[in-house]
């Protein structure tokens, strides 16, 4: 496991602003989703599964707000074609996580990625490489789920955030398939 990017203190406040609107009705979000659905977070993944849809890619860490998720939530995160496990410490993006995101988005199989550590920053690389029209959902604590419909503006914004992180940006872009 190699940490490729690390979140600096200076960028933390910028990440508190959601990348899209916040919604609470999973069924309504799914009714509007035109492309593949990607979820980041245990509770968001649970709600999308409860609404009858298996995400193309789901990233979970068995935690919510720094505490273990309830057994009811964890037990319901099921039904995926493939399951991968990666290590990713808090406030970082590792090479393994970035490559797993890239591979999961490239696959037609519904893929669950179980992160040992923290998956909170995973929404950024997902939005960076998801196809146009994909719906990326991640949790906004105590508010609901942030809905990002991927397009050029969203991709540009997250690439700017990733560039603001400390670390090896070239390695991150290679891991995501954005550079040779």
Q: Can you give the pLDDT at residue 110?
A: 97
Domain that holds residue 29: 19-58+71-112+129-166
Asked whether residue 42 carries a pLDDT value surpassing 90, the answer given is: yes
Residue 94 lies in a domain: yes
Residue 78 lies in a domain: yes
Q: Can you give the pLDDT at residue 166?
A: 96
Q: Which residues of 93-109 are buried (b: 16+ CB within 10 A; e: fewer)?
A: bbbbbbbbbbebbeeee
Residue 29 lies in a domain: yes
Total number of domains in the chain: 1
Residue 64 lies in a domain: no
Q: With contact defined as beta carbons under 8 Å apart, do 134 and 150 qualify?
A: yes
Residue 138 lies in a domain: yes
Residue 145 lies in a domain: yes
Gap between the Cα atoms of 48 and 14, Å rounded: 27
Q: Can you give the pLDDT at residue 71?
A: 81
Q: Can you give the pLDDT at residue 145?
A: 96
Residue 1 lies in a domain: no
Indicate the pairing of strand 82-88 with strand 111-117. Answer: parallel
Residue 13 lies in a domain: no
Q: With contact defined as beta carbons under 8 Å apart, do 134 and 35 qualify?
A: yes
Q: Give the mean model confidence (pLDDT) for residues 49-72.
A: 87
Q: Can you give the pLDDT at residue 1?
A: 59
Query: 147 phi and psi, to 5 degrees?
Result: -110, 120
Burial class (CB in 10 A: 0-12, 13-18, 19+), 169: middle
Place of tokens 């990440």: 15
Residue 152: HSE in the Cβ half-sphere, 13 Å Cα cutoff: 0
């Amino acid at each position: 496991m190699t940490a490729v990017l690390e979140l600096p203190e200076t960028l933390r406040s910028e990440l508190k602003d959601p990348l899209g609107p916040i919604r609470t009705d999973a069924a309504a979000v799914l009714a509007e989703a035109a492309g593949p659905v990607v979820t980041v977070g245990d509770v968001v993944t649970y709600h999308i599964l409860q609404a009858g849809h298996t995400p193309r890619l789901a990233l979970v860490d068995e935690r919510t707000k720094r505490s273990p998720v309830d057994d009811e939530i964890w037990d319901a995160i099921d039904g995926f074609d493939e399951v991968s496990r990666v290590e990713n410490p808090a406030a970082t993006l590792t090479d393994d996580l970035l490559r797993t995101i890239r591979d999961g988005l490239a696959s037609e199989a519904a893929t669950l990625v179980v992160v040992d550590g923290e998956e909170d920053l995973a929404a950024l690389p997902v939005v960076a490489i998801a196809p146009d029209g994909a719906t990326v959902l991640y949790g906004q604590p105590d508010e609901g789920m942030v809905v990002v419909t991927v397009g050029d503006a969203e991709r540009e914004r997250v690439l700017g955030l990733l560039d603001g992180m400390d670390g090896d940006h070239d390695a991150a872009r290679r891991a995501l398939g954005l550079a040779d």
